[in-house]
């Protein structure tokens, strides 16, 4: 049992911040209030400190390759074929990679681990705790999404192999063809017709039935193509990275999709990252779009997520709303908002305790990271 006393609590619900106590038992939040007591509880006085839910980054490739460096990108997509929906990225994840420790030291308690973006249909992702030694025990949820990719990554990968897709047109054609064939397969099964089992199309069925979302890597003008194609099949989807969103604000809002924006470190390198319009996050959030921030680890370190939040605030986003973009909003994207992402009775006792307020205080830093009621990190 753990009792957190006198914290300034930012619950990430409709409730305003307040000073109070949180009692945790068996890995869950048992009670929230003032002047709480429990005889057998370990008690931590958080006077003057800010208590947030454990931070969530719903788009990560952390631990999918050696050393957590950019070489990871060549490990987290199977590039034998541009259509690889049956690939399950959990089999590439290494929880002993140092990036998981960096996550804990920076208040990150949950990650959405996705395949890379070298195929058009990349595979499925999973959600995980950031602590533990066995990825299957750390895993919170399998099959959280189907990862898709448009743009330079799949085009460049297969163009260099003298394979299709050879152009952006070809990438979109393959995406469209896959869902058309998968829907025809599903419809035949639903009508009771005999069909030969197809593993690649089976993976698409929960996506077509809106049970899990499609998560599509795309930026710039590819966003229009993504919205056109995925809306045709009435899919739930999020646009991943979303650089250039300011050119498609109305289309994004009308589609009802979410965005997972980032990384926003300002590194303007290849074509797709030359239009980093962070102000679009504030505009879309104000318009009601579900917005999240990501560092796209390992492209940016998990320790930089707080800097991303600060940048979003500088570009006009409301500081309290930005906290939601790294807590409850990404929890919704990975389908775990009933379990984590906010401070509510019954949810996992995951917390990031800050000195200073992330997003507004340049000196804000994590003092404690708590995972399911256990102190994982304490900065002395």
Retrieve residue 68's tokens: 């957590």
104-142 pLDDT tens trace:
999 999 999 999 999 999 999 999 999 999 999 999 999
Cis peptide bond N-terminal to 380, omega within 30? no
pLDDT above 60 for 205: yes
Residue 70 Cα distances to 26, 186, 328, 336, angstroms? 38, 38, 28, 28
Given pLDDT bands bounded at 50, 70 and 90, which one contains residue 69? low
H/E stretch holding 184: helix 168-190
Residues sharing a CB contact under 8 Å with residue 337, sequence separation 6 or more, in sequence order? 328, 331
Given pLDDT bands bounded at 50, 70 and 90, which one contains residue 220? confident
H/E stretch holding 371: strand 365-371
CATH superfamily of 55-340: Metal-dependent hydrolases (3.20.20.140)
Angle, helix 222-232 to helix 168-190, in steps of 10 degrees = 10
CA-wise closest residue to 296 among 202, 206, 217: 217
Q: Specify the pLDDT at position 118.
A: 92
The pTM score is: 0.95
Q: Is the domain defined by 1-54+341-380 classed in CATH 3.40.50.300?
A: no
Q: Which sequence spans correspond to the domains of the chain? A: 1-54+341-380, 55-340
Given pLDDT bands bounded at 50, 70 and 90, which one contains residue 152? confident
pLDDT above 80 for 44: yes
User: 187, 208 in Cβ contact below 8 A?
Assistant: no
pLDDT above 70 for 73: no
Residues 41-70 have a mean pLDDT of: 90
- Pairing label, strands 146-149, 214-218: parallel
- CA pair distance 1, 28, nearest whole angstrom: 9
CA-wise closest residue to 29 among 11, 14, 15: 11
- Mean pLDDT (the chain) is 93
pLDDT above 60 for 284: yes
126 forms beta bridges with 113
What percent of the chain shows pLDDT beyond 90?
Answer: 83
More confident residue, 254 or 220: 254
CA-wise closest residue to 32 among 47, 22, 42: 22
H/E stretch holding 330: helix 328-333
Residues 270-281 have a mean pLDDT of: 74
Retrieve residue 180's tokens: 């058309």
- CA pair distance 242, 216, nearest whole angstrom: 9
pLDDT above 80 for 67: no
Retrieve residue 314's tokens: 């500088």
Given pLDDT bands bounded at 50, 70 and 90, which one contains residue 303? confident
Q: Specify the pLDDT at position 68.
A: 55
């Amino acid at each position: 049992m753990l009792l957190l006393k006198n914290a300034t609590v930012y619950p990430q619900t409709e409730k305003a911040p307040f000073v109070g106590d949180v009692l945790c038992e068996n890995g869950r939040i048992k009670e929230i209030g003032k002047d709480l007591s429990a005889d057998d509880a370990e008690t931590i006085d958080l006077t003057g400190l800010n208590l947030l839910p454990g931070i969530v980054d719903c788009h990560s490739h952390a631990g999918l390759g050696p050393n957590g460096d950019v070489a990871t990108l060549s490990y987290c997509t199977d590039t034998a074929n541009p259509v690889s929906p049956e690939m399950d990225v959990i089999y590439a994840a290494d929880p002993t990679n140092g990036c998981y420790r960096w996550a804990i030291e920076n208040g990150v308690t949950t990650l959405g681990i996705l395949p890379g973006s070298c195929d058009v249909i990349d595979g499925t992702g999973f959600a995980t705790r950031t602590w533990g030694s066995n990825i299957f025990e750390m895993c919170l949820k399998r099959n959280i999404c189907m990862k898709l990719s448009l743009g330079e990554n799949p085009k460049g990968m297969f163009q260099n192999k003298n394979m299709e897709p050879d152009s952006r047109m070809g990438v979109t054609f393959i995406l469209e063809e896959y869902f058309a064939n998968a829907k025809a397969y599903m419809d035949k099964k639903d009508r009771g017709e005999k069909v030969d089992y197809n593993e690649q199309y089976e993976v698409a069925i929960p996506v077509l039935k809106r049970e899990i979302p499609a998560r599509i890597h795309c930026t710039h003008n590819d966003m229009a193509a993504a919205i056109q194609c995925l809306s045709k099949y009435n899919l739930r989807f999020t646009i991943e990275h979303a650089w250039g969103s300011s050119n498609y604000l109305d289309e994004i809002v009308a589609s009802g999709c979410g965005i997972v924006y980032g990384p926003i470190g300002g590194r303007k390198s290849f074509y797709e990252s030359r239009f980093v319009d962070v102000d679009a996050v504030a505009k879309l959030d104000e318009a009601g779009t579900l917005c999240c921030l990501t560092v796209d680890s390992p492209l940016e370190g998990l320790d930089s997520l707080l800097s991303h939040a600060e940048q979003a605030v500088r570009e006009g986003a409301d500081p309290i709303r930005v906290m939601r973009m790294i807590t409850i909003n990404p929890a919704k994207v990975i389908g775990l908002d009933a379990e984590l992402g906010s401070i509510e009775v019954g949810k996992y006792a995951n917390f990031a305790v800050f000195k200073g307020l992330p997003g507004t205080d340049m000196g804000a830093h994590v003092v404690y990271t708590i995972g399911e009621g256990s102190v994982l990190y304490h900065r002395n």
